């Protein structure tokens, strides 16, 4: 499947990208993260502490064990600090 | 329901007046405004990044949730992104209701959810460099107040 | 601390802006405004009587109590007396603090105490004549929230 | 002792006065109320249900068993309804 992946805040800075298109066989967010982590050091670093990472699937907050079937946009970012 | 995400400054007083005027028949209005603090002059500026699309979606969901929990006649959420100097207004919410308890609880709820569930991230710039603001445990814990 | 008791109307938006501007360095402002409701058009006007001297004294005490309970950088209470039509603004409070929790709790507290401890009495005028508004049990009960 | 007595809202309307000066030997608010009640029907009516009456001594909310020694101004009124 082909996914649009977005990165925000320090995840964007560490990975050096704000978005990329990825073709993957991952079936869950966790599998996708494992795949990204194995790519390059900057990904491994960005995803080294998953307690500091949040994920949204098609712009809804989600969990790491969520399935990717039917998803088009995956966003990774740190805990929100608005307001 | 009025949801706005914008880079431009806003006029808190004028928005408060306009919101109140459009909520005809209400008995109570509560507003909140968040302002860039300058703790001891250490910070030069703040930058807010957000997730266009999801931001509007999340704020709309939060406002709808507030409207299901309390009797609100009106609800405004306005949040800026981009660079801001100390003293600048970051965001505001406003609620209108027949009774004060709903207006207070609604605004308080909007703020708690917005803090931890709307995709905004703050970065602070000072003479020492730039640093992302860490989320506070107390902000996540505050959500527990609403059951 | 800004306590005002007056017959004249006030401008909620302008007072909100002015209050916020004078609280330099704060991170959070909360305002509340009470408005004369017109439930189904039954009421023509409202009249508020007060106890000159005691009113200012009671409001000052309530504001001081709020300042002891929460960390407030500023506090405004403005309350009108005399005759008002539906839609007119009766009163407002505003609080400023470094953090939102104190600003929210402070304003909420001010309203609960003002409702039951400041010497104001409302009379409603309609086609059927005039009637004093009865105090609500829930308003007295609300004071219990603050320990 | 000589006291300035103030009435507000429906107490003012029932008694037909907003203030009066009273010379009394009452030592507590309750004694003063009993004395006023004995005066005329309109006072008896105004003070018929004391659960609906509040009192302030020298502009501080007080109780009916409070002593009047040293007090100059006594105000009677219904429960407040501001805000």
What is the extent of the structural domain holding C61? 2-144
pLDDT at residue C38 above 80? no
- CATH homologous superfamily of A2-77 equals Beta-grasp domain (3.10.20.30)
* Three-point CA angle B86, C25, B145, nearest 5°: 100
* Predicted local confidence at residue D27, as pLDDT: 97
Quick check: D48 contacting C, CB < 8 Å?
A: no
* Predicted local confidence at residue B43, as pLDDT: 87
Kindly report, residue by residue over C45-81, the tens digit of the pLDDT: 999 999 999 999 999 999 999 999 999 999 999 999 9
What φ, ψ does residue C62 adopt, rounded to 5°?
A: -65, -40
Two structure tokens written together for B107: 């605004």
Q: What is the C-alpha to C-alpha distance for residues C81 and C35, in angstroms, rounded to an integer? A: 13
CATH at residue B136: 3.90.1170.40
Question: Does the beta-carbon distance from D82 to C50 stay under 8 Å?
Answer: yes
Locate the chain C residue with the closest alpha carbon to B103: C32
Quick check: C12 contacting B, CB < 8 Å?
A: yes
Q: What is the C-alpha to C-alpha distance for residues B99 and C52, in angstroms, rounded to an integer? A: 27
Classify residue B127 by burial, with Cβ atoms within 10 Å: 0-12, 13-18, 19+: exposed
* Predicted local confidence at residue B38, as pLDDT: 77
Locate the chain C residue with the closest alpha carbon to D13: C132
* Predicted local confidence at residue B40, as pLDDT: 73
**What pTM was computed for the model?**
0.96
Number of domains comprising chain B: 1
Q: What percent of chain C has pLDDT over 70?
A: 100
Distance of CA B109 to the CA centre of its chain: 10
Q: Which of B35, B62, B109, B121 to mutate to test the interface with A (most CBs of A within 10 A)?
A: B121
Question: Contact C87/C38 with Cβ under 8 angstroms?
Answer: yes
- pLDDT tens-place values along chain B, 147 residues long: 999 999 999 999 999 999 999 987 899 999 999 999 877 778 899 999 999 999 999 999 999 999 999 999 999 999 999 999 999 999 999 999 999 999 999 999 999 999 999 999 999 999 889 999 999 888 888 898 998
Q: Which chains touch A (3 or more CB pairs under 8 A)?
A: B
pLDDT at residue C88 above 90? yes
Q: What is the C-alpha to C-alpha distance for residues C38 and B98, in angstroms, rounded to an integer? A: 10
* Predicted local confidence at residue C96, as pLDDT: 98
Kindly report, residue by residue over C118-132, the tens digit of the pLDDT: 999 999 999 889 999
Give the confidence band of A30 by pLDDT, cuts at 50, 70, 90: very high
| C-alpha Rg value of chain C to the nearest Å | 16
The interface predicted TM-score of the complex, written ipTM, equals 0.95
Question: Does the beta-carbon distance from A8 to B119 stay under 8 Å?
Answer: yes
Task: Give C-chain residues touching B142 at CB under 8 angstroms.
Answer: 101
* Average confidence score pLDDT of chain A: 97
Quick check: C118 contacting B, CB < 8 Å?
A: no
Full strand arrangement of the beta sheet holding D19-23: D19-23, D2-7, D73-77, D54-57, D60-62
Mean pLDDT of C87-112: 97
Question: Contact B74/B22 with Cβ under 8 angstroms?
Answer: yes
Mean pLDDT of C78-103: 97
Question: Contact C32/C107 with Cβ under 8 angstroms?
Answer: yes
For chain B, how long is the longest CA-to-CA vector?
52
* Predicted local confidence at residue C39, as pLDDT: 75
* Predicted local confidence at residue C137, as pLDDT: 87
Task: Give C-chain residues touching B35 at CB under 8 angstroms.
Answer: 20, 26-29
Q: What is the C-alpha to C-alpha distance for residues B54 and A57, in angstroms, rounded to an integer? A: 10
pLDDT at residue C40 above 90? no
In three-state secondary structure terms, B142 is: helix
Q: What is the C-alpha to C-alpha distance for residues C18 and C146, in angstroms, rounded to an integer? A: 29
Mean pLDDT of D2-10: 98
């Amino acid at each position: 499947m082909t996914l649009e992946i977005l990165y925000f805040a320090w995840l964007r800075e560490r990975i050096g990208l704000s978005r990329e298109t990825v073709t993957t066989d991952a079936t869950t967010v966790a599998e996708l993260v494992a795949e990204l982590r194995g790519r390059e050091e900057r990904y491994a670093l960005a995803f080294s502490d998953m307690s500091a990472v949040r994920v949204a699937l098609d712009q809804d907050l989600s969990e790491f064990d969520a399935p990717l079937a039917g998803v088009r946009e995956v966003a990774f970012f740190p805990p929100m600090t608005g307001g | 329901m009025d949801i706005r995400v914008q880079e431009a400054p806003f006029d808190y007083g004028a928005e408060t007046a306009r919101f109140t005027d459009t909520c005809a028949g209400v008995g109570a209005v509560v507003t909140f405004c968040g302002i860039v603090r300058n703790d001891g002059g250490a910070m030069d500026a703040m930058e807010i990044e957000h997730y266009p699309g999801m931001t509007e979606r999340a704020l709309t969901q939060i406002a709808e949730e507030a409207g299901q929990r309390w009797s609100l006649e009106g609800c405004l959420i306005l949040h800026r992104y981009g660079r801001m100097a100390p003293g600048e207004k970051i965001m505001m919410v406003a609620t209108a209701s027949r009774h004060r308890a709903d207006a207070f609880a609604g605004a308080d709820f909007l703020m708690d959810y917005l803090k931890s569930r709307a995709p905004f991230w703050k970065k602070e710039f000072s003479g020492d460099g730039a640093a992302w603001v860490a989320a506070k445990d107390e902000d996540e814990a505050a959500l527990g107040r609403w059951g």
